[in-house]
Structure 1
Amino acid sequence: MQVIITDAWMAKSRAFHLSGAKLLLSLLALSMALMLVSAGLYHWVFLKGAREGWPIIGSLVRLVVKDEFAQRDRYLRENIEVLAKKLGEMQAKLLQLESLGERVSGLAGINPADIKVKPGQGGLLVEGRPLTLQELDAGLDALDVLVGQRADAMTVMESRLFEQKIKKMMVPTQTPVQDANLGSVFGWRIDPITGRSALHTGLDFPAETGKPIYSAAGGMVVTQEFHFQYGNMIEVDHGNNLITRYAHASKVLVKKGDLIKRGQKIAEVGTSGRSTGPHLHFEVLVQGVPQDPQKFLNAGRNLPVAQVTQSKAADTQR
């Protein structure tokens, strides 16, 4: 490429020959120079105008600052909305965990109020740097995972405790007549009617006629009939080949096929059948063989009697 420069005053002309590489380098150098000059001029005008209060420059500065603050505010709002959503999910999971804790503590025999007491905390203050949004978000994620794991563990614990409680409720450990003295015990005795030695297959609880008889455990009524020796009799099947028998009742409140709870009122004390006076004859049979009921009742002495109290309240309402 040939470039000719003409001097009008001197009436002279000079010619320059530029190759392709030289032309490209010249254009790049010229472009860089223009960019540097423009940037310097922009900063000089912008800063000088902002410092001296030029109206147009001041308006531009305010627009730039306003846009920067708007972007920062929008960024913070978006992050706050995400954190608020996570916080709401955490609150829901904590409520679920609290409800599970109350149920599990109830099954375990622990007062739920004892586990709600805020533990004491303290110690030397060693301040750290402020948390970033990313660190706070990571902390919430880790806490969310931890709460989920605790909820799963509590659910398993509740299931196991409930299963154990059900098994205990199906064992005849509840005294069938409350506040009654024990009469004849299980074993050989002198029969009160024949005067001969005979095996007494249960426990006798002497009481006034009409006194409530409670089920010693939960189960199903498999027999409700009048027996010529047992009188008005009830048999309850508790599963695992375990049956309880209640005899000599004056009044029966359940029928065959009924499902009953531990501590539920099922009859009233009487003297029907082969009896010398009002009392409850109570038996426990395992695979049809009479067992000493006292062993079962002794095992239930430390168990809660809340259900018996509920049954008494229900009897009062009737």
Structure 2
Amino acid sequence: MHLIITDARGARTRSLHLSGARLALVGCMLALGFLLVAASLYHWVFVKGAREGWPVFGALVKLVAKDEFDERDKFMRANLDAMAKRVGEMQARMVQLESLGERVMGLAGLPASEVPKADGRGGALVGARNLSLEELQATLDDLERVAGQRSDWMTVAESRLFDQHIRKKMVPTHAPVTGRTAGSAFGWRLDPFTGQSALHTGLDFQADTGTPILAAAGGVVIAQEFHPAYGNMIELDHGNQLVTRYAHASRTLVKQGDLVKRGQKIAEVGSTGRSTGPHLHFEVLVQGVFQDPQKFLNAGSGKAADTVAAISRTPLVAQQNAPPAGR
């Protein structure tokens, strides 16, 4: 394109030559300028019209804003409904945990009535109507509070159950000699040496020399010595003034102060001391008083602790210094 520009008098002239590329560039710049001017004018007119309440422009702005608010409200409502559904599911889980917590509390010997409960604002409220943001926040706060309380109670129950488990392990219900039935029982009998009536303070297990002697419960070795009547003897302290005694051993494998586990081999059967043949003489003492070991051996794992408590409340049946009856 070739352009000739002259002034009014025609005295001066200028000529411009525009190629196709230059012409396209000029056109783009002009179009961009028009767009910027139009956008600025559009913005100024609509903002001014909305602020000053022009009849047409004000209505258009309100319509556009209403559509935007509706879309935003729809989006928020969809998210709130999804969150409310999850909260309802969480509250249903909390109800299940509440039932489980009551059973666990009962097993631990704690009052189930003190298990913290939710206030019931859960699934029914979510399903009945739409929750507001404030109601949803209040429900979440309630769930957090109850979950924290139940966590504390579960910790207490765990501690109580662990204590019961340890106590059961410390009760002599494990047979000190496996595969053998008890011989001479606990109680009054004719002494094999004197032929007179005497109290047999323990339970005898006839076995071959060298047969393993096992700890009836976990405890601490408080005595490992040779006794004129008991021979090679071991005493274990199980706590709560509960002691077991293992007599007439041919060989002892633990020493005073050792910690032993339930079922651990601590000695071997023999016939030392006041004995007529190889056997284990097994005794149980509660508060220094001889008790019938068979009651402990017969007690189930779930009743062992109750058995000890019941025996400790019964009248004393013999003094610790009663003469041991050999075999």
> Alignment partner of 1:220: what SS?
strand
Aligned-pair distance for 1:256? Answer: 0.5
| Alpha-carbon distance in structure 1 between the residues aligned to 2:170 and 2:265 | 16
Please tell me the root mean square deviation across aligned C-alpha atoms, in Å: 4.6
Name the stretch that deviates more: 208-217 or 251-260.
208-217
Q: Does 1:223 align with 2:215?
A: no
1:44: which partner in 2? Answer: 56
Deviation by residue 1:77-115 (Cα, 9 ceiling, x = unmatched): x999xx8xxx9xx9xxx9xx89x97xx589759xxxxxx
2:247: which partner in 1? Answer: 247
Q: Does 1:138 align with 2:138?
A: yes
The answer (yes or no) to whether the contact 2:80–2:131 under 8 Å persists in 1 is: no
2:300: which partner in 1? Answer: 301
| Alpha-carbon distance in structure 1 between the residues aligned to 2:269 and 2:75 | 79
| Alpha-carbon distance in structure 2 between the residues aligned to 1:285 and 1:44 | 102
Q: What are the residue-to-residue correspondences of 1:1-318 with 2, within 5 Å?
A: 38-39=52-53, 42-45=54-57, 47=59, 128-298=128-298, 300-303=299-302
> Alignment partner of 1:44: what SS?
helix
Aligned-pair distance for 1:185? Answer: 0.8
The answer (yes or no) to whether the contact 2:108–2:160 under 8 Å persists in 1 is: no
1:315: which partner in 2? Answer: none
| Alpha-carbon distance in structure 1 between the residues aligned to 2:259 and 2:272 | 24
| Alpha-carbon distance in structure 1 between the residues aligned to 2:268 and 2:259 | 18
| Alpha-carbon distance in structure 2 between the residues aligned to 1:179 and 1:228 | 28
| Alpha-carbon distance in structure 2 between the residues aligned to 1:46 and 1:256 | 98
Aligned-pair distance for 1:163? Answer: 3.6
Instruction: Give aligned-pair identity as a percent.
Output: 59
Deviation by residue 1:151-200 (Cα, 9 ceiling, x = unmatched): 22223333334444444443333332233211001123233455554432
Query: Normalized against structure 2, the TM-score is what?
Result: 0.54
Deviation by residue 1:2-38 (Cα, 9 ceiling, x = unmatched): xxxxxxxxxxxxxxxxxxxxxxxxxxxxxxxxx9994
| Alpha-carbon distance in structure 2 between the residues aligned to 1:127 and 1:303 | 45
* Structure 2: gaps spanning 5 or more residues: 1-48, 110-123, 305-327
Distance 1:129 1:303, change over 3 A: closer
Query: Normalized against structure 1, the TM-score is what?
Result: 0.55
Distance 1:209 1:135, change over 3 A: farther
| Alpha-carbon distance in structure 1 between the residues aligned to 2:52 and 2:165 | 85
Amino acid at match of 1:216: A
